[in-house]
Structure 1
Amino acid sequence: MYTIIAALIAIGLIFSLFKTFDTRLLEEVEKNLTIENEYYKTSISSQLEKKSEIINNLSTYMESKRQLDYDELLDYMKAMLNKNSNIESIYFGSTDNLLVNGSGWIPPEDFDLRTRPWYVKAINHGKLVITDVFLNATSEKYIITIAKPVYSNNGQVIGVLGADLSLDSIVDLISVQDDSYGEFFILNEEFELIAKSRTQDDGKPILEDTSLKISSNISSIGTSVAEATLNNEKGYVSISHIDGTNLYVGVFNSIGSENYYDKQWKNILIISVIFLVGLLLIMFLIQNKIIIKPAYTLENDIKQISITDNINYRLEELKRDPFENIRKTVNARLAQTEVYFRDLLESKDELESSNEELIAAMNQLKAYQEEIEQNQNDLLESKLLLEESQKRNAAIINVLPDIIFMYDSKGVFIDCQTNDEAGLVLSKDLFIGKNISEVMPPDISEKAIMSIAKTIETGQPQKFEYNINIDGSERTYESRMVKSNDNEVLAISRDITSEKQEQEYILKLTYKDQLTGLYNRRYYEEQIEKLSGREFLPLAIMMVDVNGLKLTNDAFGHHIGDELLKKVAKNLISCDSKGGFACRVGGDEFLMVFPNTDENEAEYLVDKLYELVSAEKLENIVISISAGWQVRTDVSQSIRDTLIKAENHMFRKKIVESQSMRNQTVNIIMQTLSEKNEREKRHSVEVAKLAKEIGVSMGLSVQKVKEIELAGLLHDIGKIAIKEDILNKPGKLTEEEYDEIKRHPESGYHILKSVDEYSSLAQCVLEHHERFDGKGYPKGIKGTQISLIARIIAVADAFEAMIAQRPYRKSLSQEMAIEEIKKNSNIQFDPEVVTAFLKIFDKS
């Protein structure tokens, strides 16, 4: 019976193992074919990429040429063909149907290369492409073409570059692996065999009389493996697509190959070994069932014997058990043991019952003792927690800057805690137990009692602020109250004097102009709305503008301009006697608002302001303002319209007053510059004189000569902005100091540009250090881009500087200076101006 079962099991096991190894063999075939397929696919793709790189390099060479030389291109193509024998042909087709072919092939007259598939596909895709496979009618080879459009420098297509590759040459370039599992081939998109690996016999590709039949739909195969028949020989095939082409690469392995049967014999050997092992295993199982397992069961049953846990336990007596007699013997001995132990248990019960009362009494006593110890521990822990809480509260109070009060519902002080009693009005001993009304001033006690009542009634926190004098100092406190219980309130009072002062300071910064101390535009916009009511009529608005602020900044520096604004602001405040306000609303603009001020009063205030400003002095600077005003007499008139009319009034006056002030300022600048440096004064006079003579020598008009002379006087007016220690420095200037000196033409330009009388000369002053060759400053212009007056002043300025005495160098003689002017003609100086300059000295 057991032998039959073992035989059946062995047969089933052999069949199962055979199927398993057959499946594994097929998986190995699939794996090897897939690996080889990927190798050949990668090799072909690599060869195509290498040939594509040749086309890319050639197209880059063509695109780098501004003008294509077709003879040179043909020579280049022939050289490339000689280096790459596996390329059938390299050619270029232009957009006007011109073909340059490295192989020498000449097309017929009616041949239109622009209709060829390689040309059309490259033009449509606009990049390098690989055409479909076609059969070359001349060579009877399967060909693919690599084509790429070529562009001119302006991005226009000038043609298409192409190279023909035969599939045979690609196959020749691929090395067949020594341990190849099958042979590879190439298919077209109809899955027709068009190229195959070389045979070992004659080395020729097998294309004719070769058929391939695949058992499943080939279009769905991808890179998986399917059964196939090649030349009536069954086997397996793996096919995958070659990226960028319409080609597929395949690898075929015959079932009848040597590798297959070798593996089958190995499988039979393995199965035989497994069969023998299976028989041994079956024999072991039979022995285990008949002998080993019953013995193991008997052992476990004997281990279950326990006199203390189960005195009634007996071994189970099983039929057909080879150890049945042993079980009966053991059970007989267990029955005798049970009688003996039952006698012992009866004696034990008597002893236990006699000790139960003693044990119960001892347990009760122990419980009483544990309860007493627990109560003592609880009391000790509560005491420690209370002491710790008191320490924490004291530490919190010492850290907090606040004063903590406890009131009852009627406002009586219950307790007070603080880390500094200097903040208390009275010592704690003098007010604890008293009502707050007996200790604090009425206004504070009333607020406190109301807050206490509201806190107890609503249960919501309350707060209020109060001021109190402590040691002669006015302090501000904030009191916050919370409900402690139904009859008590906890209050925390904090000194917020510093916070209040900071808030007031920030508010002041918000509404004040930092430079002048006047109110700013934000304050004006908020206040003017409050003055729109009838009770403020008539309402006068005065607009004030500081004349020539920018000119003052350019000439004397922004620190002088700031002082000028402060002077004007001071006089605006002095002018206000009607309870209005003044504010700065722009860089040089101010507003004054006077409630309950009529037309006559407004005019009087404006005259007073002019008088105050004219009396102000700020070094040698002219302080000038223009002021306009308008009075709002009815609420129907908008404040905005009143402001606009005041502003227009101011602008009308500024047209006259501002220009006069600027003229005065220019005169003061020249006077100040002369006072700072007598040498600069002499220099300007001499330059003006020589420039005038050059203008006369050039035959210019009388009016033009006057402009030249004035420009010569003013050409260095920008030096007013240069520090006096640099201007008068006896030694050589540093690079930074020289850079500052070089800024004086721009400073002079800004000064003169703001004055109508001199604005026409501003450009000449800006350009008088430009050079005829364009290497001057500040703009670096050259030739006739430089104004004529500036070119004349450049010669006069240079000549006068050379013959004048300087602290850091000796002067040149007149003859040496003239030679320098000649030498730099057409370099630094205008040759026409130099000629006119030389005429002056020829006459003398």
Structure 2
Amino acid sequence: MCNKKGKIGFNIIISFIVIIVITFSIIGFFVYSNWKNTLDRVVSQEEKDTNESILQKMDEFINEPLNINETNYNLFKRSILDINNKDQRDSYFAGVVEAHKKYIYSYSYGTESGEYYGARRNLNNDVEVIENNESTGGSSYYYSTTKDLTAGRFMEKTEKFDPRTRDWYTIAKEAKKPVFSPIYRHFVMNDLAISAAYPIYNNAGVLEGVLGTHITLSRINSFLKGITKDRKATAYIIERKSGELVANSLEKSNFQTLPEGKTKRISIGEMNNKSVSEAYERYKTDSNNNFVIERENDKFHVTITKFNREGLDWLIITSIPESQFTIDFVKSVRFSTILSAIALMLAIMIYRKNIELILKPIYDLINVTEKFSKGDFSYRARVFRNDEIGKLSTAFNNMADQLHNFINTLEDKVKERTIELEKINEEVIYLSYHDQLTGLYNRRYFDEELRRIDTDGNYPLTIIMADVNGLKLLNDSLGHAMGDELIKKAANIITTVCGKNGVVARIGGDEFVILLPSTGSVEVESILRDIKSKAAGEKVGFAEISIAFGYEVKTHKGEQIENILKKAEDNMYKTKLLQRPGIMGKTFEAIINNLNEKNKTEEVHSRKIADICVEIGKALKMNETDIGELKTAALLHDIGKIAIKDDILKKSGKLTEEELEQFKSHAEVGYRILNTTEGLSEISKYVLSHHERWDGMGYPKGLKGTEIPLQSRIIAIADVYEAMTRETNYRTALSKEVIIENLKKIAGTQIDPELVMIFIEKVL
């Protein structure tokens, strides 16, 4: 007992600890997941905002010289600016530089003859104008500017300078379009620079010169620092192919001046930023533009964005440390973990004391169950108190009573269940071998029986194939319920005649097969005559029962039973083919007679419409064949009403929505009946569309205008006219004048406007 007690208590304590740990773990997981998702969103948004800010600033910075060139291009193109007028020229160039001091260093124009004019900012940020032509001997003269921005006093003379040799000039000349020059070390400013060059062509397409707007790149350092400072991020702009710096947010120099005076560009790998260098190297191989690089107990989110202009192929690289977003969370997690551990220890101590009190009556119940398991069913548990444990003891006692009764009655229950299972099994076997509709054997049983019965003792063995005629027509006209009734009646007739002598099976929708062992041709013919005699006069609805038969006899073992079955089927189809015209005609005639019996006025209505259609056909000068076809269609246009209930056809009041939908179906039913009747498939199309309207609001297809067959449009006019001339219980026939007025009102909406005018003018 002590061992059990210790084990149960230990297990409960362990379970409690596991539950608590799992609960804290799940909560911690969701807290961490939510925090991680939030962190990812914050970092992603920070990356996005940083990149968008840099791109916006870069667009402003780079687009400025392009816009200056584009704005001033026409001044040179149209010779509005007189380049030889010194005062006009100097004030123009100085004005452009003065207006765009924030962005550009200098603005100039070099000609194909080697002249060079412009303006620049000197080291003191004052604007100076530049003159370089034949009068200066090829050297560049720099002049201060007056208040009106014309040349003032002479400031400086430089060595000979030919703009045509400069990269910005030659690259624009080669490209024949606006373009940026490669990055170069400015020969005056201690800075890297690029030039936006714009070639100027005269009306003859000859190059006259190149406009150049020159900017220094150190300004990019400043705005990169301004964008990244508050975000604790780092940003670099480099040339994509070489990896050489264009600008950086650290305000470090992007180049070095070597002792011999040469300029050495600094690459991204020399910036001592391993996370950025690694991201750049990975970018070159897989072209991904977002990287998370782990370095020195921190993660750096590095984004690389392309920045391209004509002549510029740069990359913008931003690096954001993740630690700035995680440090507070990590502190909170540590504090929460310590508090949770203390709370868990206190909970375990309290829980252990409670378990000892709760488990005491359980141990007694365990002792009782051990005795019960050894077969002492008379022993019952003591109820210590009226709590959950007490209820458990009571439930145990009740269970013991019931178990005692169950054991005594178990044998009877087993017998009862066995009988039920056997009955169910018999039903399953029956359903697996019988057709549910007719109760005959099904295809599965037939296949097995055919193999079993194909033995010497059963020869001659006859196979009869039977096919019920007119099933599809009956289904289409009166519905599948009547079709099922036809199948059941046919099955009953066949079974009555030959069910005792052979095996009858339904193997398809309207197909039956009969196996007759020890039966020859003479006996088979007698059996078939009996079946046909019994079917004669039997009807389902309006249709007489007609069955097509074909048989074949196997007389010796050498014949393949599959071939005998195939021949019987072929013989049946030959018979069906020969019988088809007569049967279809009888069925069709029965449909018409049945319809006329259902509604005595239907025949008169159809004949009147047929006569009107003939007159319209003559007015349209249709040939005799077409008029005959039109008349037949008119006579049969409402044949589909055979499927409509009598109470709907004879209802004098307004039809309900459901009744109206059923009434509308008569056009489609008529189409299906005629389409399956030999020689009437073309007419079926006219019957299908005789309730379509000229405006497309008719049924069943919503055809409009000339989409509706001509014959259907003629029947529609005749139908409307006949309705107006017919006397009913609630209305007298309309006069000719009123009829003509009404026909004109619905012309172009309900009926064909041209046909109705021909009808009015030539028929009425």
Regarding TM over 0.5, the answer is: yes
Larger Rg: 1
Q: Distance in 1 between matches of 2:269 and 2:523?
A: 109
In structure 2, the residue matched to 1:222 is 274
- Paired residues of 2:644 and 2:662 also in contact (CA < 8 A): yes
Is 2:659 the partner of 1:776?
no
Shifted more, 637-646 versus 769-778: the winner is 769-778
- Paired residues of 1:241 and 1:247 also in contact (CA < 8 A): no
In structure 1, the residue matched to 2:53 is 47
Check 1:241–1:535 CA distance in 2 against 1; reply closer, same or farther (3 A cut). closer
Q: Report the CA distance between 1:597 and its aligned residue.
A: 0.7
Q: Report the CA distance between 1:171 and its aligned residue.
A: 4.0
Q: Report the CA distance between 1:247 and its aligned residue.
A: 5.9
Q: Report the CA distance between 1:176 and its aligned residue.
A: 4.3
In structure 1, the residue matched to 2:550 is 628
Is 2:743 the partner of 1:824?
no
Q: Distance in 2 between matches of 1:780 and 1:836?
A: 25
Residue number among 463, 477, 483 corresponding to 1:561 in the alignment: 483
| SS of aligned partner of 2:377 | helix
Q: Kindly provide the CA deviation profile for residues 86-123 of structure 1, in whole angstroms up to 9, marking residues without a partner as x.
A: 699xxxxxxxxxxxxxxxx9999964469x999xxxxx
Residues 657-668 of structure 1: matches in 2 within 5 Å?
657-668=579-590
Check 1:676–1:689 CA distance in 2 against 1; reply closer, same or farther (3 A cut). same
Residues 703-742 of structure 1: matches in 2 within 5 Å?
703-742=625-664
Is 2:683 the partner of 1:683?
no
- Paired residues of 1:542 and 1:593 also in contact (CA < 8 A): yes
Q: Report the CA distance between 1:714 and its aligned residue.
A: 0.4
Is 2:405 the partner of 1:398?
yes
Q: Distance in 1 between matches of 2:754 and 2:760?
A: 10
Q: Which amino acid aligns with 1:624?
A: S
Q: Kindly provide the CA deviation profile for residues 721-752 of structure 1, in whole angstroms up to 9, marking residues without a partner as x.
A: 11221121111112222222221111000001
Q: Which amino acid aligns with 1:795?
A: I
- Paired residues of 1:537 and 1:632 also in contact (CA < 8 A): yes
Q: Distance in 2 between matches of 1:515 and 1:39?
A: 69
Q: Kindly provide the CA deviation profile for residues 132-171 of structure 1, in whole angstroms up to 9, marking residues without a partner as x.
A: 86779999963599xxxxxxxxxxxxxxxxx999745544
Check 1:707–1:403 CA distance in 2 against 1; reply closer, same or farther (3 A cut). same
Q: Which amino acid aligns with 1:622?
A: E
In structure 2, the residue matched to 1:606 is 528
- Paired residues of 2:255 and 2:265 also in contact (CA < 8 A): no
Q: Report the CA distance between 1:819 and its aligned residue.
A: 2.1
In structure 1, the residue matched to 2:429 is 507
Residues 203-282 of structure 1: matches in 2 within 5 Å?
218=270, 221-223=273-275, 243-244=304-305
| SS of aligned partner of 1:678 | coil
| SS of aligned partner of 1:699 | coil
Q: Distance in 2 between matches of 1:113 and 1:728?
A: 89
Q: Which amino acid aligns with 2:274?
A: G
Q: Report the CA distance between 1:400 and its aligned residue.
A: 5.4
Q: Distance in 2 between matches of 1:393 and 1:43?
A: 74
Q: Distance in 2 between matches of 1:543 and 1:141?
A: 100
Q: Kindly provide the CA deviation profile for residues 373-396 of structure 1, in whole angstroms up to 9, marking residues without a partner as x.
A: xxxxx9xx9799764268989854
- Paired residues of 1:578 and 1:594 also in contact (CA < 8 A): no
Root mean square deviation of aligned Cα: 5.1
Q: Distance in 1 between matches of 2:45 and 2:664?
A: 75
In structure 2, the residue matched to 1:700 is 622
Is 2:142 the partner of 1:142?
no
In structure 1, the residue matched to 2:20 is none
Q: Report the CA distance between 1:606 and its aligned residue.
A: 1.5
Q: Distance in 2 between matches of 1:686 and 1:558?
A: 33
Q: Which amino acid aligns with 1:593?
A: L
Q: Distance in 1 between matches of 2:100 and 2:599?
A: 84
- Paired residues of 2:443 and 2:506 also in contact (CA < 8 A): yes
Q: Distance in 1 between matches of 2:444 and 2:45?
A: 81
Residue number among 545, 570, 585 corresponding to 1:648 in the alignment: 570
Residues 173-192 of structure 1: matches in 2 within 5 Å?
173-174=223-224, 176=226
Residues 399-548 of structure 1: matches in 2 within 5 Å?
399=406, 496-548=418-470
In structure 1, the residue matched to 2:377 is 388
Check 1:532–1:173 CA distance in 2 against 1; reply closer, same or farther (3 A cut). same
In structure 2, the residue matched to 1:472 is none
Q: Report the CA distance between 1:773 and its aligned residue.
A: 3.5
Check 1:388–1:710 CA distance in 2 against 1; reply closer, same or farther (3 A cut). same
| SS of aligned partner of 1:779 | coil
Check 1:166–1:215 CA distance in 2 against 1; reply closer, same or farther (3 A cut). closer
Unaligned runs of 5+ in 1: 1-37, 56-70, 72-81, 89-104, 119-130, 146-162, 200-204, 226-238, 252-377, 405-417, 420-477, 479-492
Q: Report the CA distance between 1:577 and its aligned residue.
A: 6.1
Q: Report the CA distance between 1:673 and its aligned residue.
A: 1.4
Q: Kindly provide the CA deviation profile for residues 488-516 of structure 1, in whole angstroms up to 9, marking residues without a partner as x.
A: xxxxx667333222221221111111111
Q: Which amino acid aligns with 1:399?
A: F
Q: Which amino acid aligns with 2:406?
A: V
Q: Which amino acid aligns with 1:218?
A: E
Q: Distance in 2 between matches of 1:716 and 1:182?
A: 84
Q: Kindly provide the CA deviation profile for residues 67-104 of structure 1, in whole angstroms up to 9, marking residues without a partner as x.
A: xxxx9xxxxxxxxxx9998699xxxxxxxxxxxxxxxx
| SS of aligned partner of 2:509 | coil
Is 2:463 the partner of 1:574?
no
Q: Which amino acid aligns with 1:546?
A: V
| SS of aligned partner of 1:591 | strand
Is 2:746 the partner of 1:757?
no
Check 1:539–1:167 CA distance in 2 against 1; reply closer, same or farther (3 A cut). farther
Q: Distance in 1 between matches of 2:477 and 2:45?
A: 84
Q: Distance in 2 between matches of 1:689 and 1:84?
A: 98
Q: Report the CA distance between 1:685 and its aligned residue.
A: 1.7
Check 1:215–1:536 CA distance in 2 against 1; reply closer, same or farther (3 A cut). closer
Q: Kindly provide the CA deviation profile for residues 286-321 of structure 1, in whole angstroms up to 9, marking residues without a partner as x.
A: xxxxxxxxxxxxxxxxxxxxxxxxxxxxxxxxxxxx
Q: Report the CA distance between 1:54 and its aligned residue.
A: 9.4
- Paired residues of 1:726 and 1:737 also in contact (CA < 8 A): yes
Check 1:109–1:743 CA distance in 2 against 1; reply closer, same or farther (3 A cut). same
Shifted more, 776-785 versus 722-731: the winner is 776-785
Q: Distance in 1 between matches of 2:585 and 2:234?
A: 104
Shifted more, 662-671 versus 612-621: the winner is 612-621
Q: Distance in 1 between matches of 2:53 and 2:552?
A: 93
Q: Distance in 1 between matches of 2:756 and 2:708?
A: 15
In structure 1, the residue matched to 2:757 is 835
Q: Which amino acid aligns with 1:568?
A: A
Check 1:107–1:627 CA distance in 2 against 1; reply closer, same or farther (3 A cut). farther
Check 1:117–1:691 CA distance in 2 against 1; reply closer, same or farther (3 A cut). same
Check 1:403–1:388 CA distance in 2 against 1; reply closer, same or farther (3 A cut). closer
Count of matched residue positions in the alignment of Structure 1 and Structure 2: 506
Q: Distance in 1 between matches of 2:530 and 2:275?
A: 103
Q: Distance in 2 between matches of 1:135 and 1:752?
A: 94
How does the TM-score come out when normalised to structure 2? 0.56
Q: Distance in 1 between matches of 2:611 and 2:58?
A: 80
Check 1:218–1:547 CA distance in 2 against 1; reply closer, same or farther (3 A cut). same
Residues 312-391 of structure 1: matches in 2 within 5 Å?
387-388=376-377
Q: Distance in 1 between matches of 2:649 and 2:677?
A: 25
Q: Distance in 2 between matches of 1:663 and 1:164?
A: 99
Q: Distance in 2 between matches of 1:523 and 1:600?
A: 27
Identity among equivalent pairs (%): 33
How does the TM-score come out when normalised to structure 1? 0.51
Residues 111-190 of structure 1: matches in 2 within 5 Å?
111-112=174-175, 142-143=193-194, 167-168=217-218, 170-171=220-221, 173-174=223-224, 176=226
Q: Distance in 2 between matches of 1:554 and 1:513?
A: 23
Check 1:54–1:789 CA distance in 2 against 1; reply closer, same or farther (3 A cut). farther
Q: Report the CA distance between 1:519 and its aligned residue.
A: 0.9
